[in-house]
Chain A
């Protein structure tokens, strides 16, 4: 157990955890969908609107300067946190989905030609499938999929043979949102770079459970959403290497992202503004900055250690349940336990579990190809954060027994 880690104290920082659902204390196990927010984040948003609210990068007036400073401080903070080289390598987006669309479109426009290939994995969220599918259709390029074996593990040997002189980019998730499987991203990046192929990592789940160092990973792009990482909804980050960001064209156009505009010609602004058109989400970036400070005050290494312990505790108990199938259980996983109960439809189980005050997700988790791979309609997904407790894992155990009693 991490020494400086007291989960009961930490829970006090999250107001939404302390409520009752159907007369039972809430057990929030849907963290892979979105996390709850600490008080400091909620307070920061309200304070921003009560004090320095103003549009950024435009006015010379006092408030605009204050708001711009706070916004740029947030960017710098993220740059440091990710160990990126320059703050202009940090692009502020609406979220992970927005970031992937940006790269698929801008990179695709510049580099994809008829007959070229893009590689993703069989474990992707729809957000890292559909944008690539669309640009591949447009450019008459081919989308290829790294397969997984029956235990949910990526078949890296196949990737080796899939990469060829037509492969333009590889985009894979860091951690699977539907199974919790951790992908060997560092190895994938190394393999790809050996052949001169750039790699994008969808870090929507990865950033939450792992300390991410983009220099160490050497990824070309890394993206995530604030809202799964204890920050507000509505903002996300795209990290990209400067060289490649400079090479690809803007995604959307409008104000902020331009240098000069006449009716004949427009020249675009420098990084990062080239990719940030329109008024940005200042309040939520300031909120996210606070979330990052909060995480750092606890320490990502403490969070990782506690989460591992909690995950092992919950996994070890869940697998003892008769008739349970846990997907991906032979793989290294974190955060997510995805399972089914023999003879019980996940929708039925989810309905009963909800009535017991537990927030847990059922369905295909926006990863239909993963469900098809295992030939199941969906799963029950319990996803844990560092404010969850072993006691809550026990409540889930009890709920599953109840489900089996009622539906078995």
Chain B
């Protein structure tokens, strides 16, 4: 599934919620169901600093796509981390670099991506794109 298709799927899932509470209950579920990152990645090396909540992110190249795994100590942050992983993991570096993440706005969670929230999400997105750039460069160098 392309980034766009994944994003649309999430928008459709959220469309059924009538009030914020249902939406957040769903987000909390998503947070709890995120496959937990391997403990070996929960170190400072993979930590993306955010002063309110912490996010850990790892990335691996597999058959031309990047596989992201992530975790957070706050479950709502983790729910949003899950959405970002669903959209950006298993995608090609170029597609990740060209993606926009407007779907977060469309499902009404934009406030969590404000830099002043310092929950680690903004830095996580930056870091994902940085990984994409690094893997793309590596691929080009290696031919």
Contact = CB atoms under 8 A, between A and B. Distances in A.
Interface of A: 22, 345-348, 351-352, 355, 362-364, 377-378, 406-407
14 contacts: A22-B20, A345-B73, A345-B75, A346-B52, A347-B119, A348-B74, A348-B75, A348-B76, A355-B21, A355-B24, A406-B21, A406-B24, A406-B25, A407-B75
B136 interface: no
Nearest to B112: A351
B28 A377 contact: no
B77 A352 contact: no
Contacts of A355: 20-21, 24
Given A355-B20, A363-B51, 5 more contacts: A345-B74, A347-B76, A348-B77, A352-B24, A355-B24
Identify the 7 closest CB pairs spanning chains A and B, nearest first: A345-B74, A347-B74, A347-B53, A347-B52, A348-B76, A348-B74, A363-B52
A213 B135 CA distance: 64
Contact of B73 (A22, A364, A377, A406): A377
Contacts of A378: 51-52
Nearest to A344: B75
Interface string B51-89: 111100000000000000000011111000000000000
Contacts of A348: 28, 74-77
Interface of B: 20-21, 24-25, 28, 51-54, 73-77, 112, 118-119
Nearest to B77: A347
Contacts of B119: 347
A363 B54 CA distance: 12
B119 to A, nearest CB: 6
Nearest to A363: B52
A377 B53 CA distance: 8
Contacts of B74: 345, 347-348
Contacts of B75: 345, 348, 407
A126 B76 CA distance: 28
B86 to A, nearest CB: 20
B15 to A, nearest CB: 19
A385 B118 CA distance: 27
Nearest to B117: A347
Contacts of B73: 345, 377
A347 B50 CA distance: 11
Contacts of B118: 363
Given A345-B74, A348-B75, A348-B76, A377 B24 contact: no
A330 to B, nearest CB: 27
Highest count of chain A CB atoms <10 Å: which of B20, B75, B118: B75
